[in-house]
């Protein structure tokens, strides 16, 4: 697995579902450089319960990210058609209706691979054929990207382990505190309110 902290976030131009259903065929994270921080997170698959809980939790805290000038962007190895179908499904039925932040479709799995969160790899089997070993989906990776497009924080959870949106916000606060004041943030640091 790659450690991307301190490096430019891997670039991509891909299809994403934005604003709860619209398709953007030229979505890229670089559009936010110089304007917003980005919290780019991967989840394994559409139509799964842990993923549903995470996507809904990010939406419920979206105003907390927006007030901090952070663009939340989700990504999975599903197609944009799958994203759209899941976005139409009500929350009570396990859907994500009401999610407004962008969901990137990484159907080729190249973005997950470039971010080092693909839960498997390609290798040659005994017959000499190229085959995928592992699970062809993304681990639960989260990447906090600064205004210059540099990854400043990353955390990767195994497939069954949901992430903490509160911790993601705390890391945003810590990074912004350092960027604005040049002061380090020790263990369990929290923004003064």
In this predicted structure, the answer to whether residue 29 has a pLDDT above a threshold of 80 is yes
Selecting among 51, 75, 118, 145, the annotated active-site residue is 51
Domains and CATH numbers, the chain: 14-181 (3.40.30.10)
- What mean pLDDT comes out for the span 63-79? 97
Q: How confident is the model at residue 13 (pLDDT cuts 50, 70, 90)?
A: very high
| Kind and range of the H or E run holding 119 | strand 118-124
SS3 content of the chain, % helix, strand, coil (to 5): 30, 30, 40
Block residue for tokens 């999975």: 76
CB 94 within 8 A of CB 47: yes
Q: Is 51 a catalytic residue?
A: yes
User: Cβ–Cβ contacts within 10 Å for residue 169, how many?
Assistant: 18
Q: How far apart are CA 191 and CA 150, in angstroms?
A: 22
Query: pLDDT at position 157, please?
Result: 95
Strand-pair partners of 131: 123
For residues 11-26, one letter each, b for 16 or more C-beta atoms within 10 angstroms of the residue's C-beta and e for the rest, the string is ebebbbbeebeeebee
Could you report the per-residue pLDDT of 142-184, keeping only the tens digit for each? 999 999 999 999 999 999 999 999 999 999 999 999 999 988 8
Query: pLDDT at position 1, please?
Result: 60
Average pLDDT over the chain, rounded to whole? 94
């Amino acid at each position: 697995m790659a450690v991307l902290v301190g490096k430019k976030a891997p670039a991509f131009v891909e299809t994403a579902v934005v604003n709860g259903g619209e398709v953007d065929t030229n979505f890229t994270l670089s559009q936010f450089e110089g304007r917003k921080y980005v919290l780019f997170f991967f989840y394994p698959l559409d139509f799964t319960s842990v993923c549903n809980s995470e996507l809904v939790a990010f939406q419920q805290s979206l105003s907390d990210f927006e007030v901090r000038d952070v663009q939340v962007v989700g990504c999975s190895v599903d197609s944009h058609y799958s994203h759209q179908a899941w976005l139409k499904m009500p929350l009570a039925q396990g859907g994500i209706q009401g999610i407004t932040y962008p969901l990137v479709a990484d159907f080729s799995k190249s973005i997950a691979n470039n971010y080092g969160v693909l839960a498997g790899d390609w290798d040659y089997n005994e017959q000499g054929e190229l085959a995928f070993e592992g699970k062809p989906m993304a681990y639960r990776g989260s990447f906090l990207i600064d205004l210059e497009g540099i990854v400043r924080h990353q955390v990767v959870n195994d497939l069954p382990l949901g992430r903490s949106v509160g911790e993601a916000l705390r890391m945003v606060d810590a990074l912004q505190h350092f960027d604005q004041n040049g002061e380090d943030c020790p263990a369990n640091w929290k923004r003064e309110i």
